[in-house]
Amino acid sequence: MLELDIRGVSGSIIGEENGLNIQEEFEKYRTKIAEIITDLYKKKDTAGEGLQWMNLAYSQETSWYVKEYAALVENRFDNILILGIGGSALGGIAVTHALLHPYWNMLSKEERNGFPRIFFLDNIDPDQINGLLDILDLRKTLVNVITKSGDTTETMAQYMIIKDRLEKELDDDYRKNIIVTTDKKTGILRQISEQEGYKTFVVPDDIGGRFSVFTAVGLLPFTLVGINIDEIIDGLKDIDQALRNPDINENIAAQNALVHYLLDTKYGKNITVMMPYSDKLKYVADWFIQLWAESLGKSSTIDGNMIHTGPTPIKAIGATDQHSQMQLFNEGPNNKIINFIRVGEFDTTVEIPQIFQYTGIGYLGGKTMNDLMNAEADSTQASLIDYSRPTITIKMPKINGYYIAQLLYMLEMQTAIAGALYNVNTFNNPSVEQTRNYTYALMGRVGYEESANAIKDKILSV
């Protein structure tokens, strides 16, 4: 099981000014935390609460559909191309990068056991799109368009471009190269899909993009590249069972939520650093950034005053960022909580050969890169302790489907509990809509003339 070590935030280790009396705080928040957890599990089936992601461990339906389709198209495509942005892309990127060979897209088809390469187009940069079209044979590419609302400007523009190209290459057969993941009933993309006859998959109701990785949004691409999603579902079930426990002393998601909340609101640690000591987990940090930022970054009016909440999540990679951000984390303002993710056992080992024995680097010979990775993580934490900085370690026994599911789900649950502590609506993102309306206005969408007037004076680019 995934483990959490929060000793590094304890006042007895980093000093009372910066650290918590953990047992005292757990005692103080025991009832509140139990209420929050009970409440989440009570409301999870209620429509409109945005909590349907808590049920994903127990629904076999998506797995079944996804596997059926994957079996059908086995060996038919060389590439999967995901069109999606934000929550429609970040989970897929995080999990495939964690579980596939680190240079998957550069392996031969044989080395990939016949499974396709996978590409995520999550931006609208024309040079990137043209670059991708240079290297993809669209005839051998399965395009998965992912947008919950069926209305996301960036994704729909990508879709229009790619659909047009596909049709030119394949005539009417192009329809077999497009699959769609969207809302089951509403949205333009649902409507178009039916008209066009695409194979479609569903983003269930009440699951926002940033909580959607274990729906067809993620499970479909994972299966298509050969990832065993049963392992993922098993991991989900086990961690969900563990996180149902309303006792703060036994619930790691609650512990981590509370610790972050207290360190932010009482000790000014308003920056959450996510720092995996693993290259494979580097995009988990990006996925977490959306989860934490969009869920907790909210404004509300309390007694007539506007309150702005939300710690700022940032990404660092161990050991790489010891040579980039660590100087600031150590000596700069003491406003950060550094979350290490450490891997118990890497898939492989690399031994450092015993050469140059009589030089200053001789000491490395005979050790492994695995030893070095561990020594660096230990050293970095020790150094942060010297500077009285709070640290937390999430321990992942191995990087596989089972534990990656546990990691992501634990962070989702931690976010839901933190949202309740901050007293915000964890599951909406109102400000994104304002920006979207401005974009509609600037692009001339009918019905957004008012936004066009509102934005006029604010365009500084002209």
Binding residues among 96-115 for a second copy as defined by CB under 8 A: 101-103, 105-107, 111
Question: Cα–Cα distance between 222 and 118 in angstroms, integer?
Answer: 10
Those residues with Cβ within 8 angstroms of residue 303's Cβ, 6 or more apart along the chain or in another chain: none
By CB atoms closer than 10 A (0-12, 13-18, 19+), residue 353 is exposed
Nearer to a second copy, 5 or 231 (CB): 5
Rg of the chain, C-alpha, whole Å? 23
- C-alpha angle with apex 109: 104 to 113, nearest 5 degrees? 85
Q: Does residue 326 contact residue 381 with C-beta atoms inside 8 Å?
A: no
- Residue 434 makes contact with a second copy by CB under 8 A: yes
Q: Which residues from 230-259 bind a second copy, rule CB under 8 A?
A: none
Q: Segment near a second copy (CB under 8 A), from 137-145, 171-179, 236-244, 292-300?
A: 292-300
Q: Which residues of 98-134 are buried (b: 16+ CB within 10 A; e: fewer)?
A: bbbeeebeeeeeeebeebbbbbbbbeeeeeebeebee
How long is the chain?
462
Nearer to a second copy, 72 or 134 (CB): 134
**Enclosing H/E stretch for 90:** helix 90-99
Q: Segment near a second copy (CB under 8 A), from 52-60, 63-71, 347-355, 410-418?
A: 347-355
- Residue 85 makes contact with a second copy by CB under 8 A: yes
- Residue 78 makes contact with a second copy by CB under 8 A: no
Nearer to a second copy, 304 or 444 (CB): 444
Q: How many CB atoms lie within 10 A of CB 176?
A: 16
Site string for a second copy, 257-276 (x = CB under 8 A): -------------xx-----
- Options 324, 423, 450, 453; binder of a second copy; rule CB under 8 A: 324
Q: How many CB atoms lie within 10 A of CB 262?
A: 18
- Options 432, 449, 450, 453; binder of a second copy; rule CB under 8 A: 432
Q: How far is the CB of 155 from a second copy (least distance, A)?
A: 10
Q: Which residues from 368-407 bind a second copy, rule CB under 8 A?
A: 368-383, 385-387, 391, 393, 399
- Residue 137 makes contact with a second copy by CB under 8 A: no
- Residue 450 makes contact with a second copy by CB under 8 A: no
Question: Cα–Cα distance between 141 and 137 in angstroms, integer?
Answer: 6
What are 393's strand-pairing partners? 5, 340
Q: Segment near a second copy (CB under 8 A), from 36-44, 176-184, 233-241, 438-446?
A: 438-446
Q: How far is the CB of 402 from a second copy (least distance, A)?
A: 17
Q: Which residues from 349-368 bind a second copy, rule CB under 8 A?
A: 349-353, 355-356, 359-361, 363-365, 367-368
Query: Token pair for residue 108?
Result: 């031969």
- Residue 299 makes contact with a second copy by CB under 8 A: yes
**CB-side exposure of 149: number of CA atoms within 13 Å?**
13
Q: Return the amino acid letter for 228.
A: N
- Residue 7 makes contact with a second copy by CB under 8 A: yes
Q: How many amino acids of this chain bind a second copy (CB under 8 A)?
A: 141
Nearer to a second copy, 246 or 310 (CB): 310
- Residue 348 makes contact with a second copy by CB under 8 A: yes
Question: Cα–Cα distance between 260 and 266 in angstroms, integer?
Answer: 10
Nearer to a second copy, 245 or 374 (CB): 374
- Residue 333 makes contact with a second copy by CB under 8 A: yes
- Residue 4 makes contact with a second copy by CB under 8 A: no
Question: Cα–Cα distance between 262 and 460 in angstroms, integer?
Answer: 39
- Residue 148 makes contact with a second copy by CB under 8 A: no
Nearer to a second copy, 21 or 123 (CB): 123
- Residue 332 makes contact with a second copy by CB under 8 A: yes
- C-alpha angle with apex 90: 441 to 129, nearest 5 degrees? 60
- Residue 34 makes contact with a second copy by CB under 8 A: no
